[in-house]
Amino acid sequence: MSARRLPSQSVVGMFLLLCMARWMVSGAIPGDENWDNTFGVPGADSTVEAIGVIGPRLYLGGSFQSIGGTAASNIAMWNGTRWSSLDSGVDGTVLDLLPFGSSVFVAGAFSTAGGLSSRGLARWDGATWSTPGSVDGWIHTLASDGTNLFIGGQFTAINGLRALRIAQWNGINWHAIGSITNHAPGCSHCSDDGAVFSLATRGQELFVGGRFVYAGTVFATNLAKWDGTNWSSVGGGVNGPVRAITHNRNGLFIGGDFSRVGAVTAKKVAKWDGTNWFSLDGGVGDAYPFSVLAVVSNGEDIYLGGGFSKIGGALASGVAKWNGQAWEALGSGVSGAGALATTGSELFVAGDFHFSGGKPATNIALWHIPHPLKVERSGDQLRLSWPGTGTNFALEACSILDSSNWASVPQAPVAAGSELTVTNEVCGPTRFYRLRRR
């Protein structure tokens, strides 16, 4: 984030380096000190369901009418300093937001946007609303592969085109891509309460999660994959609704209200590596329904949001991090998170809560993701490194710990695997190092 972002000049790691190769490390520890009170109160006056980040702008959608004391009908924008409405907003709940091109696409259970008829889907270009398409129900989720926009929800048509719960837009025309149903294809007398709750793209693949039995003519319970031509099941399916999907280089991660994936017991969260399913340290320990509502990746880490208070072996309220080996709490967390978004060094958390990390926060909060500075020595060379998601951190040094004359280290960080690294000489005057948010 740029300097105008929230808040500035946070030191997250520091090293004392001596010529005799002694050093002292003081690293940040995840906890309530990482929760920021920038948004604080009054916050949003009702539940926030969706978050979208475009550069310095943060967009929120939900069922609110006021945020930060500013009147805003179900959608608002934060520019780093203040909240503003998007014209007259929309007349119903916003369920998802997605940057696509130079615009923000907004999905939900509404019928007008900025006074224009626009059922379930609308586009905001920064100044005005427009209508890319209207469905005969509502839209839960949006995704993009960079060229096409995908929508999923509970509808049977868009702009008069028959499209059962999923459709694709190429910027000009809408296309049906098969059908998502809760009964066998061709059953004219069967009732159908099928729904698509989550979409995620990975290259040319589209993963679809929800409450359904068939994708096209393929038996694919609650989770399916579209490769641009054909539907397929993913690992034998899931025994309950899939409400969130994300991925990183380690696999595909899903969250929802299930207890089994394929032949594996997995409580409300699981990983698919392309061949096998894995339970993540026992999953969610609570019995609440719909307890996982959001999953987002940040480098090697996965953040989870929902209504839980225990996950794996950790007590974690509303939000938690999977580090690849175990679950970690984010301090004292929030009481219920329904939407997450990350910029690499910041995690935005939204939902239905009144505190974050013990600080007053009404339905929107910010967690500063710790980026500890590490050191390794090889001969006279010192390797300083931090997680690769911290691209907006500056490495600084000074010779006196209480000095206000911190100076940027001239070497540019180099990407090495999942880390950013800087190599420096060990010998010389005493030096302290720190990372500072830009």
Q: Is residue 338 part of a domain?
A: yes
4 in any annotated domain: no
If asked whether residues 358 and 399 sit together in one domain, one would say: no
Q: Where are the beta strands (DSSP E) in 9-154?
A: 11-17, 23-27, 35-36, 48-54, 57-62, 66-67, 70-71, 75-78, 83-85, 93-100, 103-109, 112-113, 116-117, 121-124, 129-130, 138-144, 149-154
Domain region containing 409: 11-28+378-437
Residue 1 located in a structural domain: no
Say if residue 42 is preceded by a cis peptide, omega within 30 of 0. Answer: yes
Q: What is the pLDDT of residue 13?
A: 45
Residue in the structure block whose two tokens are 């910027």: 171
Residue whose structure tokens are 């999942």: 418
In a domain, 240, yes or no: yes
Q: What is the H or E stretch that residue 249 is in?
A: none
Residue type, position 31, single letter: G
In a domain? residue 289: yes
Which pLDDT score, from 0 to 100, does residue 29 have? Answer: 35
- The number of domains in the chain is 2
- Name the domain boundary from 326, 348, 368: 368
pLDDT attached to residue 432: 82
Query: 243 and 392 share a domain?
Result: no
Residue ranges in the chain whose pLDDT is less than 50: 1-29
- From 307, 336, 368, the end of a domain falls on 368
Q: 323 and 389, same structural domain?
A: no
> Looking at the domain assignment, is residue 333 inside a domain?
yes
Q: Do residue 274 and residue 421 come from a single domain?
A: no
Q: What per-residue confidence (pLDDT) applies to 66?
A: 98
Q: Which two tokens stand for residue 398?
A: 């000074």
User: Do 305 and 413 share a domain, yes or no?
Assistant: no
Residue 152's alpha-carbon distances to 157, 164, 256, 280, 388, in angstroms, are 11, 9, 16, 27, 32
What pLDDT does residue 428 have?
67
Q: Is 110 among the domain residues?
A: yes
Q: Is residue 134 part of a domain?
A: yes
CA distances from 196 to 121, 190, 221, 222, 224 (A): 15, 18, 12, 9, 10
pTM: 0.87
Interior/surface letters 174-209, b for 16+ CB within 10 angstroms, e for the rest: beebbbbbbeeeeeeeeebebbbbbbbbeeeebbbb
Residue with tokens 């069922």: 63
351 and 398 fall within a common domain:
no
CATH code of the domain containing 94: 2.130.10.10
Last residue within a domain, chosen from 335, 368, 401: 368
Please indicate, yes or no, whether residues 261 and 154 belong to a single structural domain of this protein: yes
Same domain, 294 and 306: yes
Query: Based on the domain organization, do 15 and 38 belong to the same domain?
Result: no
Same domain, 359 and 272: yes
SS3 22: coil
- Are 62 and 23 found together in one domain? no
What pLDDT sits at residue 387?
Answer: 83
Q: Which two tokens stand for residue 374?
A: 């590490």
Q: Indicate whether 364 and 403 sit together in one domain.
A: no
Q: Which of 145, 147, 95, 144 is nearest to 121 (CA)?
A: 95
Strand-pairing partners, residue 196, are: 210
Hey, what amino acid is at 182? N
d(CA 145, CA 26): 41
Residues 6+ apart with CB under 8 A from 275: none
pLDDT of residue 15: 41
